[in-house]
Amino acid sequence: MSGGTRSPLKVALTASAGATVEWYDFFIYGTAAALVFPKLFFPADLPPFVAQIGAFATFAVGFFARPVGGAVFGHFGDMVGRKRALVTALVTMGLATAAIGLLPSYAQAGVFAPLLLVALRFIQGFAVGGQWGGAALLAIESAPPGRRGYFSSFVQIGVPLGVLLANVVFLIMGALVATDAFLAWGWRIPFLASLLLVGIGLYVQLHLEESAEFEERAGAAEAAPKSSPILEVFARHPREVLLAGGAFIANNTCFYIAITYVVAYGTATLNLSRGTMLAAVMIGSAIMVPALILCGWVSDHWGRRRPFMWGAALCGLWAFAFFPLIETGSPALIALSVSVALVLISMMYGPQAALFAELFPVELRYSGASLGYQLGSVLGGGLAPIVATALFEQFKSTGPIAIYLAATCAVSLACTAALVVRAPHGSQDLQETGAPGASA
């Protein structure tokens, strides 16, 4: 687009702004699922455990929609461009999120209320399934050689910034209105506010040029996909898609336990204040921002896999300290527990965009990277709060949840070790060398 920009830093920051908007929309649902949806969208006579499982089940629907969105937007993004796919995903997400803020409760509409909630959550997941690939690839394909990890990390910080923004809005609403008013209408404000945020995100996204690398490849007839990019990815790179999905399981599982399940566990089981739990998540999310950038930078110098694998191993170990610190009830120790978890997750998530992008050639990159990412999100984050809630109900202990987290970390460690990544601008495979710009 004329008048646009390809300055790597400006592209990275703009993509980060769009990612922050999109993840804000996605995460306010998770916060609401932990705090208010069990009371609003399910029968009042349901046991609290059943209502909580129901709310987290609607949360999970968004994750099952993400691979569908990854496939559709991946095809679109590989055929006509990263920017158009990203802008479409932003608009779709904004409209679906605002519509959730207008839904009637179960008391007003009966069974239609949770059905509508599930449908809109599916659309949210569909949109976020396409957003990540567009934002990440715009940053990666605009970055200078040897700095893809650093510049793509700016897109990754959209996740903690989205979490931070979502929790700030919920805390402000909780402070400004009484509990009854919050349940009646206050919870709707964060959802309706997404219209304004998406308008801002859409504005900045329309001022980006398409990535130079995509346009260069799009102009070469021999590089264009010979059939659907999705079909070509599965035909030519099934191993990479599956291993990428496996590598992402621990990242997503540990993250959603740390920001979603822990809020429900702290408030409903430990009787801690909502403000204490949300503040801990906010502190951890704020610390995660520089940690992600640092880990992305490290991956440009030490390779992608090395920090990723250390992150998986350390997350698995920290799982056994995570809940005991939460159970002390100390706000400082709760914040420490969540913050350390999110820093260790950053060791995986910081290099992850560059790691996944470098698995695939440019003409199939949106489809391949998105499918790997979203496959891991289904197996990881989508089921994590449900599995954790069920494990605690069965065993009345968080020990089995820690074992579950450690097991997912072991899976991701093995999958990451098995990955071999393409040279950033070539077709040959590289083993990890640790040289600047080398892939892990």
Q: Is the pLDDT of residue 149 over 90?
A: yes
Homologous superfamily of domain range 8-430: MFS general substrate transporter like domains (1.20.1250.20)
Residue 429: its pLDDT value, please?
34
Residue type, 394: Q
Q: What percent of the chain has pLDDT over 90?
A: 44
- pLDDT (average), residues 416-440: 51
pLDDT in tens, 2-27: 445 568 888 888 888 878 888 888 78
Nearest-angstrom CA–CA distance, 73 and 71: 6
Place of tokens 């790997």: 372
Q: Which two tokens stand for residue 75?
A: 């095809």
Q: Is the pLDDT of residue 56 over 90?
A: no
Closest to 249 in 3D by CA, of 440, 26, 409, 421: 409
pLDDT in tens, 335-387: 999 999 999 999 999 999 999 999 998 889 999 999 899 888 888 877 888 89
- pLDDT (average), residues 380-406: 91
pLDDT in tens, 162-196: 989 888 888 888 788 888 888 889 899 999 988 87
Q: Is the pLDDT of residue 430 over 60?
A: no
For residue 207, give the 3-state DSSP assignment. Answer: coil
Q: Is the pLDDT of residue 143 over 50?
A: yes
pLDDT in tens, 272-294: 998 899 899 999 999 999 999 99
Over the range 133-154, which residues count as b (16 or more CB within 10 Å of their CB) and which as e?
bbbbbbbbbbbeeebbbbbbbb
Cβ neighbour number for residue 345 with a 10 Å cutoff: 30
Q: Please give the residue that has the higher pLDDT: either 224 or 338.
A: 338
Residue 85: its pLDDT value, please?
86
Place of tokens 């592209």: 11
